[in-house]
Amino acid sequence: MTRVITYGTFDLFHEGHYRLLQRAKGLGDYLIVGVTTEAYDKARGKLNVVDSLVTRIENVKKTGFADEIVIEETQGQKVNDIKKFHIDVFAIGSDWTGAFDYLKDYCRVAYLERTRNISSTMLREKNSPIQRIGIIGSGRIAARFLPEARLVSGVSAQGVYNPHTESARRFADQWDINVYEETEAFYEAVDAVYVASPHETHYGYIRDALAHGKHVLCEKPMTLKQRQAEELFGLAREKGRILFEGIKTAYCPGFHKLLGIACSGTIGSIRNVEACFTKLERAGSRELTDTVYGGSFTELGSYVLLPVLKLFGKAYEELRFDTIRDEKGLDIFTKASFRYPSGIATATCGLGVKSEGRLLVAGTKGYIVAEAPWWKTSYFEVHYEDAGRVEKYSETFLGDGLRYEISDFLSMINGSSSSEFKLTRGESAAVAGILERFLEEEGRPAQERQ
């Protein structure tokens, strides 16, 4: 008898789960299915699980493929289960290809082709909140999105569109998703769109997706003009759809906790905010070769502007930019200095100059400091006049952090407004306005593709 084992959360059970179990059963004579507990899912970083463990087990039973069901509760249990149940084949979906190769020392490992098309008919029949997401763009950030999306329950990556079809095909093959050569076919197949294309194309793609009645999650910066951001938010309201800007720091738990403490009065009245984010980008990268839309401030400015706007607001009195440029005239280091009625702030970023990247929030009773990478806030300290008094805070930051914004995006689609304050429409528009002003002062006003 050939014994097969597979594992999963099996939340919001759909045809992809059904087909996976069907394929796993076809690999042998006896199939054992491991269903994860809520606690284990949380520990391994999976967000937004909806169904109870009992419901998920019952749905697996109903397929008729499982000869036995076990509960997966801990890290490392897979090896013990393989030994305990004398397993011949470990089976898992192809979106995990390579992740379980270490089990080859114990049994054969089979990566099963994932179901690329989740049927909208099936979703309507089940009244399921699963959102089929299509990706526009096939570059680096899109490649980070997919492994994060699979850790958010209720999301299915349906396919990719890129006008450069060969790039889209390579991306689709790599991630085992569909490729769409025409936008109409793309929009027909998805419920929501993730825009991960070059900055100057965001406005056109967002407008098109909203016009097709799709929810939109767009990479930062959402637009490079304030009036366009305001127009798009207006169109989203008109269409009854969610438009969400993906500045991931805004949605990560640690940054949210830091803002709460800063605004609580713990450090008194806030008088100064300093945010810095620098990285040394390779010379041939898009960021350092695109003389219109590249440079440090369009690439990293959204991050460093975020804490300034969250803590001081949009009503600054003065704004000045100081910039270091390379031989092409492109900014490789920029400092934006703000004056507010009650304080001052600096937002510094760089791609060709390396600096200490930290976030400092200074108040009348103390200060908060988060060292680099504060944009992935997992630890920060509160200091007071008494040097011996230091309060230390930590919070989990999982993976690349995109799962937090995906989870909040999904929650808002499903009717919850609890995440809306994390990055408001007004704050997104303000970021676009500051970027627009910077580009105008640099003599390269944004003319986004329509």
pLDDT tens digits, one per residue of 240-260? 999 999 999 999 999 999 999
**pLDDT in the model for residue 450:** 44
According to CATH, the topology of domain 3-112 is Rossmann fold (3.40.50)
pLDDT of residue 124: 54
* CA dist., res. 250 & res. 196, Å (int): 18
The confidence score (pLDDT) of residue 297 equals 97
Sort strands 390-394 and 379-384 into parallel, antiparallel or unpaired: antiparallel
Cα torsion at 175, 282, 194, 253 (round to 10°)? 100
Q: Beta strand 270-278 with 359-363: parallel, antiparallel or unpaired? A: antiparallel
The residue ranges of every structural domain in the chain are 3-112, 120-247, 253-396
Q: Which CATH superfamily is domain 253-396 in?
A: Dihydrodipicolinate Reductase; domain 2 (3.30.360.10)
Spatial distance between the Cα atoms of 339 and 182, rounded to a whole number of angstroms: 48
Which 8-state DSSP code applies to residue 47? B
Q: Which of 76, 83, 74, 87 is nearest to 33 (CA)?
A: 87
Superfamily of domain 120-247: NAD(P)-binding Rossmann-like Domain (3.40.50.720)
pLDDT of residue 319: 98
**Alpha-carbon gap, residue 140 to 142, rounded angstroms:** 5
Mean pLDDT of the chain: 93
The residue written with tokens 């970027």 in the block is 435
What is the DSSP secondary structure assignment for residue 177, as one 8-state letter? -
Strand order of the β-sheet with 359-363 is 318-325, 331-340, 343-350, 270-278, 359-363, 366-370, 379-384, 390-394
Give, for 210, the enclosing helix (H) or strand (E). Answer: helix 202-211
H-state helical runs in 44-130:
53-63, 77-84, 120-126
pTM, two decimal places? 0.87
Comparing 3-112 with 120-247, is the CATH topology the same?
yes
Q: Which region holds residue 221: left if phi is over 0, alpha if psi is between -120 and 50, else beta?
A: beta
- Distance from CA of residue 308 to its chain's centroid? 21
Q: What is the pLDDT along the chain (450 residues), one digit of tens a residue?
A: 999 999 999 998 888 899 999 999 999 999 999 999 998 988 888 998 989 999 999 999 999 999 999 999 998 899 999 999 999 999 999 889 999 999 999 999 999 988 877 765 555 556 567 899 999 999 999 999 999 999 999 999 999 999 999 999 999 999 989 999 999 999 999 999 999 999 999 999 999 999 999 999 999 999 999 999 999 999 999 999 999 999 999 999 999 999 999 999 999 999 999 999 999 998 888 899 998 899 999 999 999 999 999 999 999 999 999 999 999 999 999 999 999 999 999 999 999 999 999 999 999 999 999 999 999 999 999 999 999 999 999 999 999 999 999 999 999 998 877 778 999 999 999 999 999 999 999 987 665 544
Cα–Cα distance for residue pair 171/161, rounded to 1 Å: 10
Other C-beta atoms closer than 10 Å to the C-beta of 237 total: 13
Res 446: pLDDT: 60
CA–CA gap between residue 236 and residue 212 (Å, rounded): 11
For strand 68-72 and strand 30-36, is the pairing parallel, antiparallel, or unpaired? parallel
